[in-house]
């Protein structure tokens, strides 16, 4: 089980093995910078875990995913109709995988160039009775971790697929801010596209501009408090430029 304290300590920078992800070209004549594909999961064989991502232990050790995946808590690649994506499954457990922001490891995220984060996700099952403001289970989440203080505690925004809270709900745990980006109240079973301006969210929640370079991105699923099951898919995690009409 993971408490709020352990969540704050665990979600931090990790390192990833090199792999070329490529980028989507901007339209001819466009002033927008090309989108950066963080991961679309097409490079991994179905049934395997995405080994570019890593597990970050409570003692700050960086580990490959294999030893931490089992039948009750796992991330693995699934293929449907020629498209590959990542599935998170937890049964009374919690699981996370992380990707460090470092150009040496094939992620180079500068918020001044790409302030927006976009992704797709699909909830197949959400933990019954879960609420981010009470029972701390979340069927799926994407964390952006920005910095650490002198005690090593990360400052993060957690975008969640909530069981019971409406989209737009914000829950604060000090250095961890939770934003509900999708909700089971609106139904589930279909792919949902999410786009967040991470810079604007950070300023609104923390009252100041974020560091230019986040530390890491973490994918999360947990059902350990409710002892229920969560099963959610992730796909097409992308960094985007500011809208063309936004100030630069």
In percent, how much of the chain has pLDDT > 70? Answer: 82
- Residue 128 C-alpha from the chain's centroid: 21
Domain boundaries, the chain: 33-240
Structure tokens at 235: 């796909």
- Kindly write down the DSSP assignment for every residue of 51-106, as one continuous string: TTSBEE-TTS-EE-SGGG-BTTEEEEEEEETTEEEEEEEEES-EEEEEEE-BGGGT
- What's residue 245's pLDDT? 58
Total-model pTM:
0.85
In percent, how much of the chain has pLDDT > 90? Answer: 63
As a whole number of angstroms, the distance between CA 145 and CA 33 comes to 23
Domain 33-240 has CATH 3.40.630.30: no
68-82, 83-97, 208-222, 234-248: least confident range: 234-248
- What's residue 150's pLDDT? 81
65-69, 89-93, 204-208, 228-232: least confident range: 65-69
Interval 137-168: pLDDT, tens: 899 999 999 998 888 788 999 999 999 999 99
């Amino acid at each position: 089980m993971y408490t709020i304290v352990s969540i704050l300590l665990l979600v931090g920078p990790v390192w990833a093995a090199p792999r070329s992800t490529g980028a989507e070209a901007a339209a001819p004549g466009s002033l927008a910078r090309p989108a950066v594909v963080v991961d679309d999961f097409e490079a991994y064989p179905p049934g395997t875990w995405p080994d570019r991502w890593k597990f970050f232990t409570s003692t700050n050790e960086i580990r490959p995913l294999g030893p931490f995946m089992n039948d009750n808590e796992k991330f693995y690649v699934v293929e449907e109709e020629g498209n590959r994506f990542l599935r998170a499954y937890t049964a009374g457990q919690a699981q996370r995988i992380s990707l460090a922001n470092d150009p040496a490891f094939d992620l180079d995220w500068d918020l001044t160039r790409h302030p927006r984060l976009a992704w797709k996700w699909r909830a197949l099952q959400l933990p019954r009775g879960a609420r981010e403001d009470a029972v701390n289970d979340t069927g799926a989440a994407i964390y952006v971790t920005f910095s650490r203080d002198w005690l090593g505690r990360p400052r993060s925004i957690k975008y969640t697929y909530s069981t019971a809270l409406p989209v737009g709900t914000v829950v604060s745990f000090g250095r961890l801010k939770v934003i509900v980006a999708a909700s089971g109240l609106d139904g589930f079973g279909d792919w949902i596209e999410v786009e967040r301006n991470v810079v604007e969210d950070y300023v609104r929640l923390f009252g100041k501009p974020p560091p230019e370079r986040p530390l890491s991105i973490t994918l999360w699923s947990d059902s350990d408090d409710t002892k229920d099951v969560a099963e959610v898919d992730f796909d097409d995690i992308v960094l985007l430029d500011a809208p063309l009409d936004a100030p630069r």
